[in-house]
Structure 1
Amino acid sequence: MIYGYARVSTKDQSLDVQVEQLRAYGVDDVVMEKVSGRSVDHRTGFKSLLGRVKKGDTIVVTKLDRFARSTKDALETIEYLNDKGVGLVILNFGGMNVDTTTPTGKLMITMFSAVAEFELGIIKERQREGIAKAKERGVYKGRPKRYTANHAGLAHALELYQNRDTNGLTVKKIAEITNISEATIYREARKLRKGCL
């Protein structure tokens, strides 16, 4: 069985071009979704497709980014499909058609994997070097706090929180007024009571 997978990120985008390309390739069934690629938990159609395919089946996508949210995600999905004996065809992979069931397609994906792993290693190495140099200069303090005692929105939220018995405001309403999350208001109020702020 040859399955096609078409995805766009927003409801107002059209799937027509992808579906047309998949049909032209000769897919038997097209799974369509209108959901962000980063929302992996919401890609229910794709998850269902991964569970449904069996040895000898093929999944066809128009581009790599239609089924994967990152290089790591793409490689993990390709490995999962390989383990199941399922082929993957990418109709436009840098201007080329790549079929993982062919020796050339396997080579392309292997090279892609190697380059991606190499790039990730270089990025991590540069990041470590940058952090080490920043620490030597005394300018690296780690991740900065989002809110400080001087944050006007937080100060207003805490003032409203402390006076909620007299002003009649709920924490939810205070969060709406100040644009500070309820969790942050509760957390920072606890710190204030303990004298940590």
Structure 2
Amino acid sequence: MEKTVANVALFAALIAVLGIVPNITLGFGVPITAQSLGIMLCGTILGARRGAMAVLVFLLLVALGLPLLSGGRGGLGVFVGPTSGFLFGWVAAAFVTGLIVQKWRQAPLTLVASVASIIGGIGVLYAFGIVGMSVVLGKSLSEATLLVVAFIPGDIAKAIIAGLLTASLARARPASLLSRQGV
């Protein structure tokens, strides 16, 4: 129990730290951030349940007003802005990413974690984010999709980095990879 609480808190802090660099917000309100890498790592390292819990803790801190999002944003207002779909999608993204890593054990971990990050950390996340942008900005789903297409190459790079970091951690400290412990 204590180890779970510590890991969830550690990864919530990791998501916060990854929001610091870079600090670039595009004209339509969507920031370029490394926080999605943190979401991917929550799933690949902690697994589905713990990864989603870490994201929920982070979002709770944001809702309480802590300026933990890119650009120093926080508070309840961010949950109704253009990026609100992405924020809600983070929980599902971490869960799906972790579930894939937990269940798919036949392939090398780098490949599994990278593919899981692409499916959960990009596919699932974009589904939530695009719908959220469509609703908040009053655009069609295709128009909202066009707004996020430019982020895909960077997010694929983050997914590959998540796969490499997860595999490196598994080699260096196998007991730290909770997504593969089946607990």
TM-score, normalised relative to structure 1: 0.27
**Which one has a larger percent helix, Structure 1 or Structure 2?**
2
Q: Which has the larger radius of gyration?
A: 1
TM-score, normalised relative to structure 2: 0.28
**Which one has a larger percent strand, Structure 1 or Structure 2?**
1
Q: Which has the higher contact order (CA 8 A, sep 6+)?
A: 2
